[in-house]
Amino acid sequence: MGKMFFVTGTDTEVGKTLITASLIRAMRKRGMEAGGYKPLQSGVDEWSASDAGILTRISGLEGQEVLTYSFLEAIAPAFAINKHEAFIDKMEIINEIDKLRGKFDILFVEGAGGWLVPYFPGQLVADWASELKAPVIVVGRAALGTINHTLLTVEAIQNRQLEVAAIILSGATPSNQELAEMNKQYIKEHLSNIPVFLVPWVEGEDQWEKIQSLSEQPEIQLAIQYLCC
């Protein structure tokens, strides 16, 4: 069985998928078998541009090889499931994870939105991650407010007796570099036993160019060295 990490965010749209895809690409460039999986996603109108589509492609898989439940509305997955009265087979998802762990040396399982987002009916992202018992990677913004969001998220994860493997502050939105460095340093000092990485903002509209550029950033390279230990 390959090593597994669960990827969560301090909020929605903080760059979870870009960061996860960048880690995967950087690892695969080094000859490692790394892959990503997003079991549930919402706000999807085109598979190839969706989070799950991006992770599937960067992992060298075909869409039909991976079980993913997708919903059009940009709402919490549990809300979408209830709205459409959809049946989600959690055991099938767990079997899919086991299959992918057998294929990859390192598997990243991405949640939806933040840590306390309604995921399955009656279950939060945090509940699902607790079942998986994987170390958690926290992705947050590099901008103003991230200290509060990040520390709250880490505290909530640790309250469930789960390991926080790393914190990656993402330049998913443009932010002041000096402030971003200050945020990183404060979080690093406050959580001295957790590595903190700061990934800069990357210009451009093309997702694949951004992933390529991010995967070559020094902080992503440092992160994969740490995570692969």
Annotated binding site for ATP: 13-18, 51, 110-113, 200-202, 205
Q: Which residues are annotated as a binding site?
A: 13-18, 42, 51, 110-113, 200-202, 205
The active-site residue out of 38, 83, 90, 133 is 38
210 is catalytic: no
Residue 12 in tokens = 């929605």
Characterize the bridge pairing of strands 118-120 and 123-124: antiparallel
Q: Which residues are annotated as a binding site for Mg(2+)?
A: 17, 51, 110
Residue 19 in tokens = 């960061």
What contacts 24+ positions apart, CB below 8 Å, involve 213-217?
A: 214/18, 214/19, 214/22, 215/21, 215/22, 215/23, 215/25, 215/26, 215/29, 216/26, 217/22
C-beta of residue 113 within 8 angstroms of C-beta of residue 76: yes
Active site residues: 38
